[in-house]
Every structure is written in C-alpha cells, then in structure tokens.
Structure 1
Amino acid sequence: MNIGLTGGIASGKSTVSAMLVSRGAILIDADRIAREVVEPGSPALTKIAERFGQAVIQADGTLDRKRLGELIFADSAARKDLEGLLHPSIRALMRERMETFEKLYPDKLVVVDVPLLYESGLQTMFSQIMVVYVPREVQLDRLVKRSGLTPEQAENRLEAQMSIELKKEQADYVIDNQGTLEETQQLVREFWVGKGLT
C-alpha cells in the first residue's frame, strides 16, 4: 500500500513524514532522489550545465542549488526546462523504489514525499494522496523565518507552486499542521488507525 505525501513549501511535510516513519511506514523522499540524479558526473547534471551554464556548477563539480534556485524561481520557462531535464529520471527511480518496497514489505505503508506532486501530474502513481496543510500566510511566515528569504522571494516560491487550498481540496487525507506538534501527531494517529495499520 502506498500514499503520495505532499503539501506546500514550509507546510511541514518532513515533520509529518517523520511521524509516519516512527509508526512503521517506509519513506521515499523525492527531494533526496532529486539530489541523487544530479550527482557529479550524472547525465542530468551535464544537461543542467548545458542549459543553465557552468555558473550553476560549483568548483567541486556539485550543483550550486542556491544559484540554480535564483534562476528558476525568477523565470517560469527556466523552471519548466529544469523540470523537463530532471523529472523523467526522478520518476523512474521513485517508481522502481516503490515497487521494490511494496514487494519486500507488503504489509507496510510506503510513503512517497513529493513536494510538487500535483504540479507534476503524478496523482496516478499513488493509491491515495495526503496533503499537509497550513494557510498561505503561515507558509510565508515560516519560509521567511526558516530560509532567510525576503518576503518577496518567499512570495515568488509560493507563486511557483499550486495553491495550497487547491491541493487541500484534491486530497484524500488532509493533515492540518498549523497547530501544536501534539495536534498534528493526533491527526497522524487517526489516519494510521483509520487505515487499519498496526
């Protein structure tokens, strides 16, 4: 059994995924896979350098994520180009790991944390979708405090994603993460018990 876990930037997906893992779920993190596919020497990193220039490659041969982020969050066409370069490799690896874990551990819940799940049209990959929700103003506040971004930069990042309200409407499960950790933990517990997981 699997679920796709998503939400908005700074909504608390990592917190919720950790809570699910602590109950016995297996986590596949799309962000971690995205880092794997751009390791030095990878075909994806070569394509990124060809499209965005050597300025996005650091002296040690690794991707300069901050520099690339500045380019893509300011330019929707550049962001689409990057997605076109990375998404096929990320999806293939995600699907491969999901299938492996579901075969090896048929009784466990496989949770796939995908920040841009809806934006990438990946809904059909999962049995059900869980959205970690906080209102937009909470997202903005957390993003500015957490990342040291200006309010304008934080707005740009939110604008690059589908509205959190739309994600909430389309979800099979919503974990409202604007309260205390204990309240979030209780919602995760209710989900777990409701699914008949032990």
Structure 2
Amino acid sequence: MPLLALTGGIASGKSTIAALLAQRGAIVVDADAIVRQVQAPGTPVLDGIAGEFGADVLRSDGSLDRARLAARVFGHPERLAALNALVHPAVREESESRFRAAFAADPDAVVVYDVPLLAEARAGDAWDLVVVAHAPAQVRARRLIETRGMTEDDARARIASQAGDDERLALADVVIDTADDLDATRRQVDDLWERVLHAR
C-alpha cells in the first residue's frame, strides 16, 4: 500500500505524470481538486476566506473569484500565509480521508497524491516515495507562454512565487525529468512504476 507524493513547479509536467500513473493503475488524489471542493459555496473555508479578504472575492453566485483572490495575495507573503492557514488544514483532512478510503477499498493500491505545494505545506509528512517532476525554469516559462498565453514577465513571476527547484529536489526520492519529449517522460514513469510494484 505505497503512498507517493508527486510534486513539481508550475508547468513541470506533473499532471502528465499523474495521468500516466493513473493509466498504469494508480489511484490519484488531486490536491487542486480538493482545494476547489473545500472552497465551494457554503463551506466553512469559503466563509473564512470571505471574512478575511472581503465579500468581493465572491462572485454573484456565491462561488470564489479565484483570480481576484489571487491578485489580492500574490506578492504579499503575509496575505498568502493567512489564506493558507484557512485552506491547508481542510485540504489535509480531506486528502487523508481519501487515502484511507483508497487503502480500505484495496489494501494493495498504489495511491499518488498530486500536490503542487508539497515543499510549502507537507514536506514533513510520511510518504513512501516523493516524486518530483522537473524541468528547468526556462523550459517551464516557455511552456507557460506557449500554452497559457502568459507574458514572459508573468511566467517568470509565477515560477518565482513557488518553492525553488533546489527546495523541491531536496525532497525527492525520484526525479522525473520532463524537459525532453513525452516518450522520455513515459519511460521514466515506467521505471518508477516497476520500482513501486517491486517494493510492494
């Protein structure tokens, strides 16, 4: 019943790796999806966000205006810390509930926690393996410009706002280099999968 943490900076190819692992039979628990769930209308987390950052971070339908909230915390570490204090405990609780449910349903399951902010929020947790998707910052910036329409300055600012590569790589048991093509990434995922299966 291995529990893997999969992390990587923005545009590092982490989601691609998660999808490849799911194709091989892993149960993927998506931290971003959990964040959206715990911030849904009517949840204590969303009420707390509105109380902390103002009701104008909510849309007319009561949902969170993520772009407005991001603009309010981006570049302001103390504001970001206040947001994380509201969100991270709820995400931790829900993710651990999902891990337990997955292993209860199949004790031999391989569970992968797809978590962008591992270095920032859960580096000290007990993972069987930490897998880091890695590509150089210039490669990730180019991907953001080409696939998300960002300006170069915006792309570099987004990358700089996250944990540094050295901080993430220091946590890694396995590094998957995604700077090359998809076939190269797929081969590395195959090697990881074999390692996990043999360790079960």
TM-based fold match above 0.5: yes
SS at match of 1:192: helix
Point out where structure 2 has 5 or more consecutive residues left out of the alignment.
none
Output the amino acid matched with 2:100: E
Query: Which residue of 1 is the match for residue 143 of structure 2?
Result: 142
Q: 1:67 to 1:146 in 2, by over 3 A?
A: farther
Asked if structure 1 preserves the Cα contact closer than 8 Å seen for 2:35 and 2:91, the reply is yes
**Partner Cα separation in structure 1 for residue 126 and residue 58 of structure 2:** 32
- 1:166 CA displacement: 2.8
**Partner Cα separation in structure 1 for residue 123 and residue 4 of structure 2:** 12
TM-score w.r.t. length of structure 1: 0.94
Counterparts of 1:121-140 in structure 2 under 5 Å?
121-140=122-141
Asked if structure 2 preserves the Cα contact closer than 8 Å seen for 1:6 and 1:132, the reply is yes
SS at match of 1:144: helix
CA offsets 1:33-61 (integer angstroms, 9 cap, x no match):
00000111111111111111122101111
SS at match of 2:175: strand
Counterparts of 1:67-78 in structure 2 under 5 Å?
67-78=68-79
Q: Which range is displaced more, 148-157 or 108-117?
A: 148-157
- 1:144 CA displacement: 2.5
Q: Which range is displaced more, 152-161 or 179-188?
A: 152-161
Query: Which residue of 2 is the match for residue 91 of structure 1?
Result: 92
Q: Which range is displaced more, 51-60 or 16-25?
A: 51-60
Q: 1:77 to 1:144 in 2, by over 3 A?
A: farther
Q: 1:143 to 1:123 in 2, by over 3 A?
A: farther
**Partner Cα separation in structure 1 for residue 95 and residue 149 of structure 2:** 31
Query: Which residue of 1 is the match for residue 152 of structure 2?
Result: 151
Point out where structure 1 has 5 or more consecutive residues left out of the alignment.
none
Asked if structure 1 preserves the Cα contact closer than 8 Å seen for 2:22 and 2:28, the reply is yes
Runs (4+) of structure 1 exceeding 3 A deviation are: none
- 1:125 CA displacement: 3.6
Q: What is the CA RMSD across the aligned residues, in angstroms? A: 1.5
Output the amino acid matched with 1:24: G
Counterparts of 1:41-60 in structure 2 under 5 Å?
41-60=42-61
**Partner Cα separation in structure 1 for residue 195 and residue 45 of structure 2:** 41
Q: 1:77 to 1:145 in 2, by over 3 A?
A: farther
Query: Which residue of 1 is the match for residue 26 of structure 2?
Result: 25
Output the amino acid matched with 2:42: G
Output the amino acid matched with 1:174: V
**Partner Cα separation in structure 1 for residue 112 and residue 138 of structure 2:** 27
What is the identity percentage for the equivalent residue pairs of Structure 1 and Structure 2? 38
Output the amino acid matched with 1:19: L
Query: Which residue of 2 is the match for residue 115 of structure 1?
Result: 116
Q: Which range is displaced more, 85-94 or 166-175?
A: 166-175
**In the alignment, is residue 13 of structure 1 matched against residue 8 of structure 2?**
no
- 1:30 CA displacement: 0.4
**Partner Cα separation in structure 2 for residue 109 and residue 13 of structure 1:** 17
Q: Which range is displaced more, 21-30 or 98-107?
A: 98-107
